[in-house]
Amino acid sequence: MILARIVALGLYTLSTLTYAAPWQFVKSEDGIVIDKRPHSEGLVEIRAKMQTPTSYSGFLLLLEDSDNVPNWIDNVSASQVLMQISETENIVYTQFKAPWPARNRDMVTYSQYSVEDGQFVLSIKDASNYLAKESGYIRIYDVDALWTLQPLTNGNTYITYTAYANAGGILPNWLMNKLSIGSALSTFKGLKEQLPKYQGQQHPHLPSESR
């Protein structure tokens, strides 16, 4: 299963700060809201959220469709499972194409999903030690991200993605932060567009939902 690519949401991920600063609104577009807050080393943590009609199965089936990844996750060129630890856990390798003059990036992540108290949760952590650095790529590290999905009474599902990552290299922080915000928005637009294709199907490792 291709899970953590998602992560991908480009170059960003969940903060593990002892003190978390308040979220700051960045922009709202096409029903998608993007927030940010300071993280370490001058970088920011990104939060993207929206309401859209999807089942948990539809969402997970989209994430696992490796051939479709470049069509919705911003800047992703390829992704593959390096190791399936269990039905809900994977080690995933993802490559990103970067605009000139930046160099292409890659990342290795551990992902695990579950349904807790009726809420779908997918966590993504850095797992760079599973694969040596690839020639021609700068390794993204300190990856820490979280997807949560919760059903609403209006028939929609509330999707939240919170993410922080260090893209590495010599790009200035202001540029990496700008790219992270743009990547999150682009990815959520792609997610919203692709999700309808995966509805009406039941994922074998998720409970049935009453929608």
Per-residue pLDDT band for 174 (boundaries 50, 70, 90) equals confident
Interval 108-162: pLDDT, tens: 999 999 998 999 999 999 999 999 999 999 999 999 999 999 999 999 999 999 9
Cα distance between residue 195 and residue 55, in whole Å: 9
Q: Residue 6 pLDDT more than 60?
A: no
Looking up tokens 């978390």 gives 20
Per-residue pLDDT band for 41 (boundaries 50, 70, 90) equals confident
Tell me the two tokens of residue 119. 């809420």
**Which pTM was predicted?**
0.87
pLDDT value, residue 159: 98
pLDDT value, residue 208: 84
Task: State the chain's mean pLDDT as an integer.
Answer: 88
Query: Domains of the chain by range and CATH?
Result: 23-195 (3.30.530.20)
